[in-house]
Structure 1
């Protein structure tokens, strides 16, 4: 933050406090994935080639998963659209293309822009797949044999009747 911006922020904070408001000084911790993905943001310029493209160096040390660019035009009549070039990301550079309209590139001109490059593999959030539960299959049971009253063939006393 520049000195002028810091001074303006301090004056604004004093004005809020003088008006009976609450001034919060401090920062909150970052919220997001852990470990935090690597990121680089900068403002830069380059001169485009005949197709309106230029190569931008970055210091992520890995192929960016995402690069976001925003044109900074110096005058109202110097507007251009700015996009990243698909498939141009490397571990050290990416390409941008400046266009005046859908068919006319900003060829051989200086462009100014801001960018944010985010490293690491970005994957869509995953939803856990529900596990299919099956109820246990009942084990078939054999019917029990019915009990019959004793027959007369078995002597009372349960012996074979041979010698006593």
Structure 2
């Protein structure tokens, strides 16, 4: 980059800062668990059963650690809340439940939603031993014995 171009960028940055903006002088990498977890995100729909639930197929390849759901409905049809069902996660499915209020499920209705299923990071063992070796504590003999 030539000196004139550097000066123009510096002046532009000062102008943004003077106008109350934020100037970033670099980029940063993503911050998160290492190794990164596997993630599957999709948009889907289903028809709820008599309890307001339906089963969703996923292709994460493992039991999700977390599933986040968000209803995608036009304004006049979003009078329900959507949650995942505790204990329903398997390596291929999870369940969601749509409720009009705390006691009234959305029965037999179509629901549209987005989801993100997060797998736990795969942690490689650092040692071939699963458990440390057991040691037997020794107690000093008391004097006079």
TM over 0.5, shorter chain:
yes
After TM superposition, the score normalised by the length of structure 1 is 0.55
SS in 2 for 1:120: coil
CA RMSD of aligned residues (A): 2.5
User: For residues 94-126 of structure 1, what are the alpha-carbon distances to aligned partners after superposition, in whole Å with 9 as ceiling and x for unaligned?
Assistant: 00000011111111110011111110169xxxx
Work out which of the two has the higher radius of gyration on C-alpha atoms and give 1 or 2: 1
- Any conservation in 1 of the 2:46–2:111 contact (CA below 8 Å)? yes
Alignment correspondent of 1:42: 42
Equivalent runs, 1:73-88 vs 2, <5 Å: 73-88=73-88
Equivalent runs, 1:125-144 vs 2, <5 Å: none
User: For residues 16-35 of structure 1, what are the alpha-carbon distances to aligned partners after superposition, in whole Å with 9 as ceiling and x for unaligned?
Assistant: x9xx76999xx853221221
Equivalent runs, 1:12-161 vs 2, <5 Å: 29-120=29-120
Unaligned runs of at least 5 residues, structure 2: 1-11, 17-21, 123-145
After TM superposition, the score normalised by the length of structure 2 is 0.62
- Any conservation in 1 of the 2:38–2:121 contact (CA below 8 Å)? no
How far 1:78 moved relative to its partner?
3.8
How far 1:48 moved relative to its partner?
0.7
Question: Which structure ranks higher in relative contact order (CA pairs < 8 Å, sequence separation ≥ 6)?
Answer: 2
How far 1:75 moved relative to its partner?
2.9
Partner Cα distance (2:68, 2:97) in 1: 13
Partner Cα distance (1:116, 1:78) in 2: 20
Unaligned runs of at least 5 residues, structure 1: 1-16, 123-164
SS in 2 for 1:76: helix
Partner Cα distance (1:89, 1:102) in 2: 22
